[in-house]
Structure 1
């Protein structure tokens, strides 16, 4: 039979109300008593009722993490899994519970952010949703619920003051392009993706900007689109074999597509990197499981998750409105084997 607060009170030789105040971290109870009561509770496997705690403290100690619909559109995403894991780990380290939800109910189309807030299920939100409508943002502000945008740079930041933690995607595309150009590549095929958010558009803009800075013009006929999956990277090569004789390098704007590209090139007897160099983006773990090991752009997911969670906790603990913080993290080039060394051909 589960232990109750009455049992804890008896063991600790205190009143039941004192036990309740200890569990709710009341400042009216000495730290020594709190420590003793909490130790008894933990040793006896006491499960604190979150709903009761919410009623007494007006806090749920739960954070909502809002994921985008595109996760369902393209199946399991290894890169997104790493974002999720890092956020969960940080929140758990802070002793916060987590509710993971899509922005919108797939069947009823109900706004899940509004549902979580009106149901008093969360204290704050981390939002990994590429686009968020003005009505939802206005609702969050009206309800005075702390929230931080993470990973995607929402369009609404251009007109509204919002907190966000974001990786500089333009810089990432620039770094990939610059690396290939510095190796002597000029005829480069670029594979982007038509998915939600501005990540891939910004990577393409950064890629083209490096061409401009090197006094070159990128040929838009060499810009192709996949859907972020391994299969789509493979298909782009399979369906456009004719251009392979015209290029010396490929920039695939995520690692799964890049690995699909390498597989397709190998199947056609094309050596990477000696015949064609390949650069990916994200630096997912499996980059080092395939040969040649993939040169890529590293997105600092660990740092981004830490900064996002720290910012949200700061908002939760603040007793007054804070100036919105806009945090931009710089990506890094990770050089491995898939680009080789400088080429002699022009």
Structure 2
């Protein structure tokens, strides 16, 4: 079996230089670095990652607890997290939210040795928060946050709800239905609050009739749409609390023979990449920054892992309206 000693001999450098190339390549002279890398290729050398992690007291692995993949937002953020981590030399163990019961998922994560934890699946009053703090491992929340704070990055969810609702009211819509998820999640809690504020400011009632809570699955969204279309006074506009919900709504309305926005206007939140697809052209509210929340979160987490003295990160990013083709003005 090829050893680092063999690599050092072929490259004409010391064994400690080989070690630095593997662990702190930025501190190695470019010429020596290239010689070592070439020697590794010629000898087909594979460093022992377990031994390296024991020496450095690092596993070079991160646990990601992601929301459900039926929401493209989490597909995009998971992709960003995995790709960026790989660039920085970390492997990512991905776990997915078990809607309504995450304890088994959390238990699996807490039993593993990792350098950091990144999660979007946390609830506002999630009992796992104290357990995460006990681990003495850096952890970062994104998209959602916990009542007790901690490290997180999020969009301004209240402002997103306000902006979406203000846009519909500016187009003369008064009969507006909000479709969201459980208020145990700060994303839905904040976006509903923004909706409620603007509706009441404009003298419009908010009740169970026009604020529908779902589990965000396609089946649940279809059930809601069937129910609201069956009513005598159907809405002229729908505020979907995520783009994922909005896309399910759009698909179901088209299947039922309705036209968007001619029959019903529709707006979402998140500004996922899919929302700009020519088949959707979804009006939505999203962050000003080009980076998604997963990207911002993983950058901050790795900085915490490598610089433990860093202060707590709590960032709430502003939002903007992205007007496309699914909303229109109606006659007052």
1:78 — aligned with what? 72
The answer (yes or no) to whether the contact 1:102–1:112 under 8 Å persists in 2 is no
1:296 pairs with one of 281, 284, 298: 284
Could you tell me which runs of 5 or more consecutive residues in structure 1 were left unpaired when the two chains were aligned.
Answer: none
Q: Distance in 2 between matches of 1:29 and 1:288?
A: 45
In 1: Cα distance, 2:110 partner to 2:253 partner: 48
Question: TM-score, normalized by length of structure 2?
Answer: 0.84
Q: Tell me if the contact between 1:234 and 1:257 (Cα under 8 Å) persists in the aligned partners.
A: no
Written as runs of structure 1 = structure 2, the 5 A alignment for 1:242-257 is: 242-243=230-231, 245-257=233-245
Distance 2:267 2:48 in 1: 51
1:129 alignment counterpart: 121
Secondary structure of 1:232's counterpart equals helix
| Equivalence for 1:62 | 61
Q: Flag structure 2 segments of 5+ consecutive residues without an equivalent.
A: none
In the TM superposition, residue 279 of structure 1 has moved relative to its aligned partner by: 1.1
- Distance in 2, matches of 1:198 and 1:313, equals 24
CA contact (8 A) 2:267 2:326 kept: yes
Task: Provide the C-alpha distance between the structure 1 equivalents of 2:85 and 2:42, rounded to a whole number of angstroms.
Answer: 24
1:170 maps to 2:158:
yes
User: Cα 1:27–1:228, aligned 2, differ >3 Å: closer, same or farther?
Assistant: closer
For 2:155 and 2:184, the matched residues in 1 are separated by 16
CA contact (8 A) 1:174 1:210 kept: yes
Residue in 1 aligned with 2:133?
138
CA distance in 2 between partners of 1:110 and 1:327 (Å): 24
Cα distance, 1:65 vs structure 2: 1.7
Between the two proteins, the alignment pairs up a number of residues equal to: 326
Match of 1:334 among 307, 322, 325: 322
Task: Encode CA deviations 1:61-107: one digit per residue, 9 max, x unaligned.
Answer: 22222235xx3xxx633221111011112212223222223589989
Query: What is the distance in 1 between the residues matched to 2:249 and 2:27?
Result: 64
Counterpart residue number, 2:174:
186
Q: 1:108 to 1:216 in 2, by over 3 A?
A: closer
Q: Determine the C-alpha separation between the residues in 2 that align with 1:244 and 1:260.
A: 23
Alignment RMSD, CA only?
Answer: 3.1
1:209 equivalent in structure 2? 197
* Residues 97-106 or 194-203, more deviating: 97-106
Q: Which residue of structure 2 lines up, in the alignment, with residue 24 of structure 1? A: 23
- Structure 2 distance, partners of 1:206, 1:343, is 22
What is the match of residue 331 of structure 2? 344
Aligned partner of 1:305 in structure 2 is 294
In 2, the alpha carbon distance for the partners of 1:28 and 1:269 equals 64
